[in-house]
Structure 1
């Protein structure tokens, strides 16, 4: 089942990132570039780096210049994240290209890759919430609150994993079909962001 593979890779990527815990640590992807596993590892590494960028930019004492720097880094990172999700969907479009949908086949509201995107974010939430349960500088009530949240996140991962596996199985059997829309983000595009194309005038 793909969810088991994805969850294992996500945990590995998060663990590898936190060896240095530095945003600009070069990614050392252990999987062959042409594989789905390579894309999954890269996806979670991108998410992990962005998680820590988001932490930095929320520092209430951050220098405004540094805040702007990190906001722009986050924008660029989010575009890379979106591109990677679309690469994963392209993999599945190719994988299922020979499947003829059944007459009663339905489209899913979310593509496989965007569901996998949520699974990667869940892996990060679980990792960081678990870290909160290990802290020594907080009261017992903090541990209890975070453990309760962690239990819910783990349950959510189980449910989402099952849903992803069922979706891919339904697509393989023709019960559902993929229809992928590119995100068409406008804010990074100098042709569609009025501020950007206004500057160019």
Structure 2
């Protein structure tokens, strides 16, 4: 369980998506359902589709009706993304459930899956910055600026990967422990969002 195993899965998901580059392309996860590899592919596919939905909605010429539909789709995707992160954290929690915790073990502010969420999105940034750094119709200034940004993103990948690997090693060694806190998003809940529940009165 190391980031070196997951980054290629993220890259495969991104590459598979760009075979069509269409947000409605059905996911065809090549990994065994229920495996950690399956979850990592699924997670990145959600991020990849949402990345492109965010591009679409920023079109200044977009039809307002379409923009609203895309915005609601992004909201739904965000909820799906959150649910997937929490599911992956639950997977880790189950894996580590029998690990004895040391007396001085500490709690990490960020869970493994939320850190992996950042790594998945970072891989998308790297992919698209690489595209911009080599775009034939862009200016040399643009390509040079994007190449400089790409170098920073690659350094960030190394740093974040090392931090995630260290966190998981510490959990396995009992030096850190984890919990799964549900995000409890309120705006999608008809009983918690006042705009929604006041309409029922």
Q: What TM-score do you get using the length of structure 1 for normalisation?
A: 0.98
2:58 pairs with 1:62 = no
Show CA shifts across 1:82-113 (max 9, x none): 00001100110000000121010000010000
Output the CA distance in 2 between the equivalents of 1:47 and 1:200: 34
2:19 match: secondary structure: helix
1:63 Cα deviation after fit: 1.4
* Superposed counterparts of 1:177-196, under 5 Å: 177-196=177-196
Output the CA distance in 2 between the equivalents of 1:29 and 1:199: 40
Show CA shifts across 1:142-170 (max 9, x none): 00000000000000000000110100000
1:135 Cα deviation after fit: 1.1
Residue in structure 1 matched with residue 3 of structure 2 by the alignment? 3
Residue in structure 2 matched with residue 146 of structure 1 by the alignment? 146
Output the CA distance in 1 between the equivalents of 2:100 and 2:178: 11
* Superposed counterparts of 1:85-164, under 5 Å: 85-164=85-164
Output the CA distance in 2 between the equivalents of 1:199 and 1:5: 48
Show CA shifts across 1:95-141 (max 9, x none): 00001210100000100000000000000000000000121222101
Output the aligned Cα RMSD.
0.8
1:200 Cα deviation after fit: 2.1
* Superposed counterparts of 1:28-47, under 5 Å: 28-47=28-47
Output the CA distance in 2 between the equivalents of 1:189 and 1:107: 29
In the TM superposition, structure 1's runs of 4+ consecutive aligned residues that sit over 4 Å from their partners are none
1:19 match: secondary structure: coil
- Aligned residue-pair number: 201
Output the CA distance in 2 between the equivalents of 1:139 and 1:32: 44
1:6 Cα deviation after fit: 1.0
2:24 pairs with 1:12 = no
Output the CA distance in 2 between the equivalents of 1:192 and 1:56: 30
1:27 match: secondary structure: coil
1:198 Cα deviation after fit: 1.5
